[in-house]
Each structure stands twice: as structure tokens, then as C-alpha cells.
A and B are shown apart, each in its own frame.
Chain A
Amino acid sequence: MQELLLEVIKPTLEVIKPMLEYVSRIIVPMLQGTVVTLELFFITTVFSIPLGVLLALARISRYTILRDVVGAYIWLLRGTPLLLQVFFVYYGLPNFGITLENFPAACIAFVLNYAAYFAEIFRAGIQSIDKGQYEGAKVLGFTYWQTMWRIILPQTVRRVLPPVSNEEITLVKDTALVYAIGLGELLRATKIAVSRDAVTSPFVVAAVFYLVMTYVLTKVFDKLEQRYSIYE
């Protein structure tokens, strides 16, 4: 019995061992790529969510001009490919005298793009709150802004968590696009290893990295949803 087991395990180990050795060699550059990926992810999240809130509030403002301008902005940013926007900021803006390194260029394009998506999510969330909440606050003497910040937006958070979680997962994967302007993020680090060593296993490793990141995100949002549903 034991011998039989050994006979199976030994050859398997012999196949796996060089693979493991190989992976341990490429893991450092891939982790470095992941750091860039995560930096872009966090910067985009931290800036695009507040910007999205502001755009959403502008989108429902009583000033028609403001609503229309923001509507056009959202249409433009959601209506064109993110990669095109990245190219525009990186290659196009220098024509207007603004030259950026590839990382800040990617950040700007991502923040502007994701803010447009978040704006629509938040607008829908705000508008899903019952009119009675505004009335309840109004008869207590709250101003419009007090009502928004203290009553409406806190309730909106709970409602938008699922769609925001969706966007965040998409964002993790969208970061791979900046490969196209030469940023050394995870996918680029992977592709370098693949080309150099003429193997495909780095793709598998990259897939695992992305899966781990999206898994952690999913868990974080699950926790947030739990925390915000105590009052339901």
C-alpha cells in the first residue's frame, strides 16, 4: 500500500518541483507588479467615490445647467472605452501642454471614469429613498443639506453597497488595461515572464493573484453589508 502511494507521489513531485522552483523565481517581479495594480486600485477608489457622490448630488440638483453638464460628463465617460480615455490622458494631453508620467495619467483617467459610474449608482441609490424621509426631516427643521448628509446619504450607503462592490471587482481587473501605456502592473510582469521563458504558467499565477484580490474584496463588502444591515 505504502509503496503504491510512493510510486504515485514520487513522479508527481518530480513534475511539481521544477514548477515550484520556477514560480518562486517569477514571484518577486509579479508581486512588484501587484503593488502597482493595488496602488492604482486604491487611488481610484479613494478619489472616485467622493467625486461620484458630488456628481450624483449635482445630477439631482435643482439647477438644470448643472444637471445637464454632469449628465453630458457621465455620458461621455461611460460612452467611450476606458482604454481610450487612458490613451487620451497619456498621449493626447501633451498636445495641450500637459505631460504626465504613465502612472499619474492612468490614475486620472481611472478616477474620472469610475466617478461617472459611481455617480449613476449613487444617484439611483439616493432616489430610491422614500420621499417620507425628506418630509420627516423637513418638518423637523432640517435644511436640504442637513437632510442629505445626515438622513439620506447614510441610508443610501446600505443600498449601493452591492453595485459598488461589483464596480470595485471590475476595477481590480480593469487595472490590467494600463499595461498598454507601459505601466509595470501585474499583467505586464506576467507577460514579460511568459515571453522571456516561453512558458505559460505565469498566466496561471496571475489568475490566482487576481482571484485572491477579488476574493478579499468580496469578503470586505460582505462584512460591510452585514454591518450596515443591523437596522433592517
Chain B
Amino acid sequence: MIEARNIYKSFGDLQVLKGISLAVKKGEVVAIIGPSGSGKSTLLRCLIYLEVIDRGSIIIEGQPIAYEDENGKTRYVPDKQIRQICKKIGMVFQNFNLFPHKTVLENIIEAPIVVNKVPKQEAVDMAEALLRRVGLIDKRNSYPSQLSGGQKQRVAIARALAMKPDIMLFDEPTSALDPELTGEVLKVMRDLAEDRMTMLVVTHEMGFAREVADRVIFMDGGEIIEEGLPREIFCNPRSERTRSFLKQVL
């Protein structure tokens, strides 16, 4: 579904990703955990072309967006093609990034109408179905500023789903929320996982990683230190770094 091979990324002198390789299969839920600054967000952002990688390759549903040419130099395919390929990936941000000047419903129908040329009525019907699914149909005409953080994040998830993505990326979707609001967002994500949505989730919610993920990746210092089944990582970590991280967060 989504595959990254040996990707490197620096910001100036700061090397943030040091040869990350990862593959997410269809229907799989993968959680990425790790300390702050370890490069988790950067990794997700590279996968969806919000950051440009220095080296390596990225392949989405069999189509490369970045590849190494015969000289080993990383090249990107043309922007238009990347847009086409990345339409199949939805992304949910830590701070929602809803469009404040549009109502909840307008936030959701905007991209299907503008990008996918879906007829307006069809887009509205789909948006309403999604709003029912995330439990916010009564907020359809509210503006984002009138919602709680948890509600905003559920709208953001609905907005991403409206593009009918094959893969959803989540970057700490609950860490900007008050603790009592994380549950409602996690529930929506659990439902998605049950529907066999392919998901790559950066999270600080160890409970979610343990119970929902098929596989957990532990990152530190721009590298993947360890990956495996949740119970292997949480109950029986091989690496000392994983162990000390888990001791801090659990």
C-alpha cells in the first residue's frame, strides 16, 4: 500500500530521518511511537509530500512518487502526478487544520467537489453520511470555532474520509485535546480500524497502540529501533531504548 525505502531527511545540519524503511499493507493498522523529536511527524509528512526527502524512495499503491535514478539520486515524479497519487492518502493533523471560514459541511464537501468534481448533491449526501458516522450530524452548519477540540478532530477525520482514501495517516490526532475529549476521537479511529481501513498512526496513546494496532514501530533519533506485534513491543521489548521509553510513558 505504502512503502518507504531507506529515506533520509535533514533540516539544515539536523538529520531527522536516518534511513527509514517501512511498508504498510492493505488493511493494516500500524502505530508509530517514540520520544518527542524522534522524527515521527517528519516521516508522515514525507510520505504525503509535505516535506521533500533527501534520499530514498516512496511508493504508494505501486506508484513511485520519489525514486532513485541510475546515479542513486532521488527524484520526484511531476507534481501533478504526485497530487493524483496522494489523493489516495488522507491525513489528519494534530491541530486539525479545518478551514475556519467554512461550515462543518462545507469543510467536508469542498475537496470532493473541487478536486474530484463530484456533483454537489452527491457530495452533500456523502458528507452527511460521514457526519452521522462520526456523530456530528447536528453540527453540520456550525463553524469550526464553535466546536470543541474533539469535535473538530472528528470533522477533520470526516473531511479526509470524504476523499475516499485508501490509507489514512494520523499525526498525534489526540495530543492537542483535553484528556476527556480524546476518547471520542479514538473511538472513531477504532471504528475505522474495524472497517479495515489502512492506517498509519503516530500516537502517544499507548492504550490505543496496544489494543488497535496490528504492528507497532518504535522510533528514536530518526531511526526505527524496533517493530513488531503490540504485545511483543509492550511486554517484551528487545531494545534497551524501547524499554526505557516505555518505562517513562506507561
Residues of A within 8 A of B (CB): 130, 132-133, 135-143, 146, 150-151, 154-155, 158, 230-232
Contacts and interface: CB of A to CB of B under 8 A. Distances in A.
Contacts of A154: 101
Nearest to B95: A132
Contacts of B145: 231-232
B50 A140 contact: no
A150 B110 contact: yes
Given A130-B97, A137-B99, 19 more contacts: A132-B97, A135-B97, A139-B48, A140-B111, A140-B159, A140-B163, A141-B87, A141-B116, A141-B163, A143-B83, A146-B114, A146-B115, A150-B110, A154-B101, A155-B99, A155-B101, A231-B100, A231-B144, A232-B100
Contacts of A136: 93, 97-99
Interface residues of B, number: 28
Interface in B76-99: 83, 86-87, 89-91, 93, 95, 97-99
Contacts of A151: 99
B208 interface: no
B99 A139 contact: no
Contacts of A231: 100-102, 143-145
A155 B102 CA distance: 10
Contacts of B163: 140-141
Which of A133, A139, A141 neighbours the largest number of chain B CB atoms within 10 Å of its CB? A139
A180 to B, nearest CB: 43
B12 to A, nearest CB: 18
Contacts of B91: 139
A135 B99 CA distance: 11
**Residue from A141, A142, A155, A158 having most chain B Cβ neighbours under 10 A:** A141
20 contacts: A132-B93, A132-B95, A133-B97, A135-B97, A136-B93, A137-B99, A139-B89, A140-B110, A140-B160, A141-B111, A141-B116, A141-B163, A142-B115, A146-B115, A151-B99, A158-B101, A230-B143, A231-B101, A231-B102, A231-B145
For the residues of B in contact with A, the DSSP-based class is: loop
Contacts of B95: 132
A142 B86 CA distance: 11
Contacts of B87: 141
Contacts of A143: 83
A140 B143 contact: no
B224 to A, nearest CB: 23
A138 B50 contact: yes
Interface of B: 48-50, 83, 86-87, 89-91, 93, 95, 97-102, 110-111, 114-116, 143-145, 159-160, 163
User: Could you tell me the dominant secondary structure of chain A's interface residues?
Assistant: helix
A230 B100 CA distance: 10
A142 B93 contact: no
A150 B113 CA distance: 12
B200 to A, nearest CB: 13
A142 B111 contact: yes
A88 B231 CA distance: 80
A150 B97 contact: no
A155 B97 contact: no
A139 B90 contact: yes
A133 B114 contact: no
A191 B91 CA distance: 66
Nearest to A147: B114
Contacts of B115: 140-142, 146
A182 B93 CA distance: 60
A213 to B, nearest CB: 30
Nearest to A129: B100
A153 to B, nearest CB: 10
Nearest to A138: B50
A23 B116 CA distance: 65
Interface centre among B97, B102, B144 (most CB of A within 10 A): B97
Nearest to A130: B97
A158 B145 CA distance: 15
Contact of B86 (A130, A135, A141): A141
Contacts of A150: 110, 114
Nearest to A139: B91
